[in-house]
Amino acid sequence: MRFTLKAAVTSVWIGALSIGASHAADMKVTLLGTGTPTPRIGSFSASTLVEAGPERLLFDFGRGSTIRLFQKKIPLGSITASFITHLHSDHVVGLPDMWLSGWIGTPWGARKTPMVIFGPKGTVAMTENLTKAFSEDIRIRTDDEHYPAAGVAFAAKDIEPGPVYEKNGVKVSAIEVNHGEKIKPAYGYVIEFDGKKVVLSGDTKPDQHVIDAGKGADLLVHEVAIIEPELLKSYPNYRAIEDHHTSPEDAGRIFSEAKPKLAVYSHIVFATVKPVQDVPEDALAARTETTYAGPFIIGRDLMSFVIGDKIEAFDAGGHPLTPLSAQR
Protein backbone atom coordinates (compact mmCIF):
# COMPACT_ATOMS: atom_id res chain seq x y z
CA MET A 1 0.00 0.00 0.00
CA ARG A 2 2.81 2.37 0.84
CA PHE A 3 4.28 1.80 -2.59
CA THR A 4 0.96 2.59 -4.27
CA LEU A 5 0.53 5.79 -2.30
CA LYS A 6 4.08 6.91 -3.02
CA ALA A 7 3.67 6.15 -6.72
CA ALA A 8 0.44 8.11 -6.83
CA VAL A 9 1.95 11.13 -5.08
CA THR A 10 5.01 11.04 -7.29
CA SER A 11 2.95 10.85 -10.48
CA VAL A 12 0.97 13.92 -9.40
CA TRP A 13 4.19 15.84 -8.98
CA ILE A 14 5.73 14.58 -12.20
CA GLY A 15 2.54 15.58 -13.99
CA ALA A 16 2.79 18.98 -12.35
CA LEU A 17 6.31 19.49 -13.62
CA SER A 18 5.02 19.83 -17.16
CA ILE A 19 2.53 22.54 -16.21
CA GLY A 20 4.11 25.90 -16.86
CA ALA A 21 3.32 28.77 -19.13
CA SER A 22 0.70 27.65 -21.61
CA HIS A 23 2.98 28.13 -24.65
CA ALA A 24 6.76 27.83 -24.90
CA ALA A 25 7.24 31.54 -25.67
CA ASP A 26 4.70 32.80 -23.13
CA MET A 27 5.64 34.37 -19.85
CA LYS A 28 3.61 33.57 -16.79
CA VAL A 29 3.52 35.69 -13.64
CA THR A 30 1.98 34.32 -10.44
CA LEU A 31 1.42 36.42 -7.33
CA LEU A 32 2.50 34.17 -4.45
CA GLY A 33 2.14 36.89 -1.83
CA THR A 34 0.35 40.22 -2.25
CA GLY A 35 0.56 41.31 1.38
CA THR A 36 2.82 42.94 3.95
CA PRO A 37 4.14 42.03 7.42
CA THR A 38 0.52 41.72 8.68
CA PRO A 39 0.04 37.97 9.27
CA ARG A 40 -3.14 37.51 7.22
CA ILE A 41 -4.04 34.03 6.02
CA GLY A 42 -5.36 35.31 2.69
CA SER A 43 -2.45 37.52 1.69
CA PHE A 44 1.04 36.30 2.47
CA SER A 45 3.95 38.74 2.31
CA ALA A 46 5.81 39.71 -0.84
CA SER A 47 6.66 37.02 -3.39
CA THR A 48 6.17 36.75 -7.14
CA LEU A 49 6.95 33.89 -9.50
CA VAL A 50 7.89 34.57 -13.13
CA GLU A 51 8.07 31.61 -15.52
CA ALA A 52 9.66 32.09 -18.93
CA GLY A 53 10.92 29.21 -21.09
CA PRO A 54 12.72 26.80 -18.75
CA GLU A 55 13.38 29.52 -16.19
CA ARG A 56 11.42 29.70 -12.94
CA LEU A 57 12.36 32.94 -11.26
CA LEU A 58 11.29 33.91 -7.76
CA PHE A 59 11.19 37.53 -6.63
CA ASP A 60 11.26 37.94 -2.83
CA PHE A 61 10.73 35.30 -0.18
CA GLY A 62 7.71 36.56 1.73
CA ARG A 63 6.05 34.55 4.46
CA GLY A 64 4.38 31.48 3.02
CA SER A 65 5.94 31.59 -0.43
CA THR A 66 6.71 27.86 0.02
CA ILE A 67 3.04 27.17 0.72
CA ARG A 68 1.91 29.08 -2.37
CA LEU A 69 4.40 27.19 -4.60
CA PHE A 70 3.16 23.93 -3.11
CA GLN A 71 -0.43 24.96 -3.91
CA LYS A 72 0.69 25.48 -7.53
CA LYS A 73 2.44 22.06 -7.48
CA ILE A 74 5.76 23.70 -8.26
CA PRO A 75 8.66 21.96 -6.49
CA LEU A 76 10.58 24.37 -4.25
CA GLY A 77 13.86 22.99 -5.59
CA SER A 78 12.87 23.73 -9.19
CA ILE A 79 13.32 27.51 -8.86
CA THR A 80 16.20 28.36 -11.18
CA ALA A 81 17.13 31.75 -9.66
CA SER A 82 15.83 34.09 -6.96
CA PHE A 83 15.96 37.86 -6.60
CA ILE A 84 15.47 40.02 -3.51
CA THR A 85 14.15 43.58 -3.82
CA HIS A 86 15.34 44.78 -0.40
CA LEU A 87 16.01 43.35 3.02
CA HIS A 88 12.82 44.33 4.88
CA SER A 89 11.64 41.23 6.73
CA ASP A 90 8.36 40.86 4.82
CA HIS A 91 10.46 40.14 1.70
CA VAL A 92 12.89 37.61 3.19
CA VAL A 93 11.32 35.79 6.16
CA GLY A 94 10.44 32.90 3.84
CA LEU A 95 14.03 32.45 2.65
CA PRO A 96 15.15 29.88 5.26
CA ASP A 97 11.99 27.86 4.61
CA MET A 98 12.47 27.93 0.82
CA TRP A 99 16.15 27.09 1.22
CA LEU A 100 15.94 24.26 3.73
CA SER A 101 12.57 22.74 2.81
CA GLY A 102 13.59 22.93 -0.85
CA TRP A 103 16.62 20.77 -0.03
CA ILE A 104 14.57 17.90 1.40
CA GLY A 105 14.63 14.92 -0.95
CA THR A 106 10.96 14.73 -1.86
CA PRO A 107 9.05 15.47 -5.08
CA TRP A 108 8.22 18.95 -3.68
CA GLY A 109 11.80 19.80 -2.63
CA ALA A 110 14.82 18.04 -4.09
CA ARG A 111 17.22 20.88 -4.81
CA LYS A 112 20.56 19.28 -5.69
CA THR A 113 22.47 22.36 -6.81
CA PRO A 114 23.29 25.61 -4.97
CA MET A 115 20.44 28.08 -4.45
CA VAL A 116 21.02 31.03 -6.80
CA ILE A 117 20.14 34.36 -5.15
CA PHE A 118 20.71 37.94 -6.22
CA GLY A 119 19.93 40.84 -3.92
CA PRO A 120 21.08 44.17 -2.52
CA LYS A 121 24.14 44.65 -0.34
CA GLY A 122 23.72 42.41 2.71
CA THR A 123 22.29 39.44 0.79
CA VAL A 124 25.52 37.41 0.84
CA ALA A 125 26.01 38.15 4.55
CA MET A 126 22.48 37.00 5.27
CA THR A 127 23.03 33.67 3.49
CA GLU A 128 26.29 33.15 5.41
CA ASN A 129 24.56 33.91 8.71
CA LEU A 130 21.62 31.64 7.89
CA THR A 131 24.07 28.84 7.14
CA LYS A 132 25.51 29.31 10.63
CA ALA A 133 22.06 29.60 12.25
CA PHE A 134 20.84 26.36 10.71
CA SER A 135 24.12 24.44 10.95
CA GLU A 136 22.59 21.77 13.21
CA ASP A 137 19.74 21.05 10.78
CA ILE A 138 22.24 20.84 7.93
CA ARG A 139 24.48 18.49 9.95
CA ILE A 140 21.57 16.28 11.01
CA ARG A 141 19.97 15.95 7.58
CA THR A 142 23.32 15.37 5.89
CA ASP A 143 24.26 12.58 8.32
CA ASP A 144 20.79 11.11 8.61
CA GLU A 145 19.06 11.64 5.27
CA HIS A 146 22.16 12.01 3.07
CA TYR A 147 21.02 14.97 0.97
CA PRO A 148 23.72 16.40 -1.32
CA ALA A 149 25.84 19.18 0.21
CA ALA A 150 25.50 21.23 -2.99
CA GLY A 151 21.73 21.46 -2.52
CA VAL A 152 22.06 23.38 0.73
CA ALA A 153 24.82 25.69 -0.52
CA PHE A 154 24.10 29.25 -1.62
CA ALA A 155 25.31 30.88 -4.82
CA ALA A 156 24.51 34.41 -3.65
CA LYS A 157 25.58 37.74 -5.05
CA ASP A 158 25.17 41.33 -3.88
CA ILE A 159 24.17 43.27 -6.98
CA GLU A 160 24.21 46.81 -8.34
CA PRO A 161 21.52 48.29 -10.59
CA GLY A 162 21.70 47.00 -14.18
CA PRO A 163 21.63 43.57 -15.82
CA VAL A 164 21.98 40.79 -13.23
CA TYR A 165 20.92 37.54 -14.91
CA GLU A 166 20.71 36.27 -18.45
CA LYS A 167 19.93 32.65 -19.30
CA ASN A 168 17.79 30.69 -21.77
CA GLY A 169 16.65 33.91 -23.46
CA VAL A 170 15.49 35.49 -20.19
CA LYS A 171 17.08 38.72 -19.02
CA VAL A 172 16.63 40.20 -15.54
CA SER A 173 17.75 43.72 -14.68
CA ALA A 174 17.62 45.55 -11.35
CA ILE A 175 16.44 49.16 -11.14
CA GLU A 176 17.09 51.29 -8.09
CA VAL A 177 13.89 52.53 -6.46
CA ASN A 178 13.20 54.99 -3.64
CA HIS A 179 11.84 53.20 -0.58
CA GLY A 180 13.15 55.89 1.78
CA GLU A 181 16.48 57.32 2.89
CA LYS A 182 17.30 54.53 5.36
CA ILE A 183 16.35 51.61 3.09
CA LYS A 184 19.06 51.66 0.50
CA PRO A 185 19.59 49.97 -1.78
CA ALA A 186 16.06 48.94 -2.74
CA TYR A 187 15.42 47.45 -6.15
CA GLY A 188 12.66 46.82 -8.61
CA TYR A 189 13.20 44.29 -11.39
CA VAL A 190 12.63 44.15 -15.13
CA ILE A 191 12.21 40.71 -16.69
CA GLU A 192 12.41 40.40 -20.49
CA PHE A 193 11.77 37.32 -22.62
CA ASP A 194 10.96 36.87 -26.31
CA GLY A 195 9.98 40.53 -26.82
CA LYS A 196 7.85 40.62 -23.67
CA LYS A 197 8.49 42.71 -20.58
CA VAL A 198 7.38 42.45 -16.97
CA VAL A 199 8.25 45.12 -14.40
CA LEU A 200 8.08 44.62 -10.64
CA SER A 201 8.26 47.88 -8.68
CA GLY A 202 9.45 46.41 -5.39
CA ASP A 203 8.63 48.60 -2.38
CA THR A 204 8.89 52.23 -3.43
CA LYS A 205 7.61 55.74 -3.29
CA PRO A 206 6.68 57.13 -6.71
CA ASP A 207 9.87 56.69 -8.74
CA GLN A 208 10.81 57.80 -12.23
CA HIS A 209 12.90 54.62 -12.70
CA VAL A 210 9.71 52.57 -12.44
CA ILE A 211 7.90 54.82 -14.92
CA ASP A 212 10.79 54.58 -17.40
CA ALA A 213 11.01 50.79 -17.01
CA GLY A 214 7.23 50.48 -17.26
CA LYS A 215 7.07 52.12 -20.68
CA GLY A 216 6.38 49.38 -23.22
CA ALA A 217 5.85 46.81 -20.45
CA ASP A 218 3.24 44.13 -20.86
CA LEU A 219 2.74 43.92 -17.12
CA LEU A 220 3.63 46.48 -14.45
CA VAL A 221 3.23 45.03 -10.96
CA HIS A 222 3.27 47.95 -8.52
CA GLU A 223 3.03 48.26 -4.76
CA VAL A 224 0.48 50.57 -3.17
CA ALA A 225 -0.50 51.91 0.25
CA ILE A 226 -4.07 52.91 0.97
CA ILE A 227 -4.40 54.50 4.37
CA GLU A 228 -7.57 56.35 5.29
CA PRO A 229 -6.74 60.02 5.81
CA GLU A 230 -8.55 60.12 9.18
CA LEU A 231 -6.07 57.54 10.54
CA LEU A 232 -3.14 59.81 9.83
CA LYS A 233 -4.51 62.34 12.33
CA SER A 234 -4.98 59.89 15.19
CA TYR A 235 -1.98 57.62 14.49
CA PRO A 236 0.97 59.66 13.17
CA ASN A 237 2.95 56.39 12.72
CA TYR A 238 0.90 55.74 9.63
CA ARG A 239 2.43 58.88 8.13
CA ALA A 240 5.89 57.22 8.23
CA ILE A 241 4.50 54.03 6.69
CA GLU A 242 2.69 55.95 3.97
CA ASP A 243 5.82 57.95 3.28
CA HIS A 244 7.72 54.77 2.25
CA HIS A 245 5.12 53.72 -0.29
CA THR A 246 2.95 54.89 -3.20
CA SER A 247 -0.60 56.22 -2.82
CA PRO A 248 -3.32 54.98 -5.21
CA GLU A 249 -3.42 58.42 -6.85
CA ASP A 250 0.34 58.41 -7.45
CA ALA A 251 0.21 54.81 -8.69
CA GLY A 252 -2.49 55.90 -11.14
CA ARG A 253 -0.23 58.72 -12.36
CA ILE A 254 2.61 56.22 -12.83
CA PHE A 255 0.35 53.86 -14.81
CA SER A 256 -0.94 56.79 -16.93
CA GLU A 257 2.59 57.83 -17.83
CA ALA A 258 4.11 54.38 -18.32
CA LYS A 259 1.04 52.94 -20.07
CA PRO A 260 1.71 49.24 -19.45
CA LYS A 261 -0.66 46.88 -21.25
CA LEU A 262 -1.88 45.80 -17.82
CA ALA A 263 -1.17 47.23 -14.35
CA VAL A 264 -1.45 45.05 -11.27
CA TYR A 265 -1.32 45.93 -7.59
CA SER A 266 0.65 43.66 -5.31
CA HIS A 267 2.13 44.35 -1.86
CA ILE A 268 -1.00 46.21 -0.80
CA VAL A 269 -0.50 48.13 2.44
CA PHE A 270 -3.85 49.12 3.90
CA ALA A 271 -5.25 50.63 7.08
CA THR A 272 -8.80 51.68 7.81
CA VAL A 273 -10.44 53.46 10.74
CA LYS A 274 -12.91 50.60 11.09
CA PRO A 275 -10.78 47.43 11.05
CA VAL A 276 -11.37 45.19 8.03
CA GLN A 277 -9.88 41.84 7.10
CA ASP A 278 -9.53 42.38 3.39
CA VAL A 279 -8.14 45.05 1.09
CA PRO A 280 -10.70 47.87 0.68
CA GLU A 281 -10.88 47.21 -3.05
CA ASP A 282 -13.65 49.66 -3.90
CA ALA A 283 -11.78 52.58 -2.32
CA LEU A 284 -8.48 51.45 -3.87
CA ALA A 285 -10.05 51.23 -7.33
CA ALA A 286 -11.87 54.57 -6.96
CA ARG A 287 -8.77 56.44 -5.81
CA THR A 288 -6.68 54.89 -8.62
CA GLU A 289 -9.26 55.88 -11.21
CA THR A 290 -8.98 59.56 -10.26
CA THR A 291 -5.64 59.56 -12.13
CA TYR A 292 -5.77 56.49 -14.43
CA ALA A 293 -8.27 55.28 -16.99
CA GLY A 294 -6.44 52.19 -18.25
CA PRO A 295 -6.76 48.53 -17.30
CA PHE A 296 -5.62 47.37 -13.87
CA ILE A 297 -6.20 44.53 -11.47
CA ILE A 298 -6.01 44.51 -7.68
CA GLY A 299 -3.85 41.49 -6.99
CA ARG A 300 -4.73 38.63 -4.72
CA ASP A 301 -2.56 35.68 -3.78
CA LEU A 302 -2.31 33.05 -6.54
CA MET A 303 -3.67 35.27 -9.29
CA SER A 304 -1.73 34.63 -12.48
CA PHE A 305 -1.07 36.41 -15.75
CA VAL A 306 -0.11 34.71 -19.02
CA ILE A 307 1.63 37.01 -21.47
CA GLY A 308 1.49 35.73 -25.03
CA ASP A 309 0.00 37.46 -28.07
CA LYS A 310 -2.36 39.02 -25.52
CA ILE A 311 -2.39 39.15 -21.74
CA GLU A 312 -4.74 36.85 -19.89
CA ALA A 313 -5.46 37.17 -16.18
CA PHE A 314 -6.72 34.36 -13.95
CA ASP A 315 -7.93 34.22 -10.37
CA ALA A 316 -6.56 31.72 -7.83
CA GLY A 317 -8.95 29.09 -9.14
CA GLY A 318 -7.81 29.56 -12.74
CA HIS A 319 -10.94 31.43 -13.87
CA PRO A 320 -10.42 34.30 -16.34
CA LEU A 321 -10.46 37.82 -14.87
CA THR A 322 -11.47 41.07 -16.53
CA PRO A 323 -9.35 44.13 -15.68
CA LEU A 324 -11.16 46.80 -13.66
CA SER A 325 -11.42 49.71 -16.09
CA ALA A 326 -12.54 47.36 -18.85
CA GLN A 327 -15.59 46.47 -16.74
CA ARG A 328 -16.98 49.99 -16.87
User: Shortest distance, CB of residue 159 to Zn ion, whole angstroms?
Assistant: 17
Tell me whether residue 120 or residue 294 sits nearer to Zn ion (CB atom). Answer: 120
Q: Which stretch binds Zn ion (CB under 5 A): 89-97, 212-220, 272-280, 299-307?
A: 89-97
Of 131, 183, 189, the C-alpha closest to 162 is 189
Query: By CB under 5 A, how many residues form the interface with Zn ion?
Result: 3
What are the angstrom distances between the C-alpha of 22 and each of 26, 27, 33, 147, 307? 7, 9, 22, 33, 9
Nearer Cβ to Zn ion (148/161): 161
Can you name the residues that pair with 163 across neighbouring β-strands?
A: 173
Residue nearer to Zn ion on the CB measure, 46 or 313: 46
- 22 or 38: CB nearest Zn ion: 38
Among 88, 141, 196, 209, binds Zn ion (CB under 5 A): 88
Distance CA 200, CA 66 (A): 20
User: 221-260 in b/e burial notation, b at 16+ Cβ within 10 A?
Assistant: bbbbbbbeeebeeeeeebeeebebbbbbbbbbbbbeebeb
Instruction: Give the binding range for Zn ion (CB under 5 A) out of 26-34, 80-88, 138-146, 280-288.
Output: 80-88
| Residue 109 burial (C-beta neighbours within 10 Å; 0-12, 13-18, 19+) | buried
Q: Cβ 69 to Zn ion, closest distance in Å?
A: 19
Q: Which is nearer to Zn ion, 105 or 180 (CB)?
A: 180
State yes or no: residue 60 binds Zn ion (CB under 5 A): no
Q: How far is the CB of 84 from Zn ion (least distance, A)?
A: 11
Widest pairwise Cα distance in the chain: 64
Nearer to Zn ion, 176 or 203 (CB): 203
Report CA-CA distances (Å) from 95 to 8, 59, 100, 249, 269: 29, 11, 8, 33, 21
If the CB atoms of residues 192 and 223 are measured against Zn ion, the closer one turns out to be 223
State how beta strands 196-200 and 186-193 pair: antiparallel
Binders of Zn ion among residues 191 to 220 (CB under 5 A) are 203
Q: Is the dihedral of CA 217, 315, 99, 149 positive or negative?
A: negative
- Window of 50-58, 69-77, 85-93, 306-314 that interacts with Zn ion by CB under 5 A: 85-93
* Binding status of residue 90 toward Zn ion by CB under 5 A: yes
55 closest CA partner among 21, 95, 106: 21
The minimum distance between CB 306 and Zn ion, in angstroms, equals 26
Q: Taking CB under 5 A as the rule, does residue 222 contact Zn ion?
A: no
CB 146 to Zn ion: min, Å: 38
User: Could you list the residues that contact Zn ion (CB under 5 A)?
Assistant: 88, 90, 203
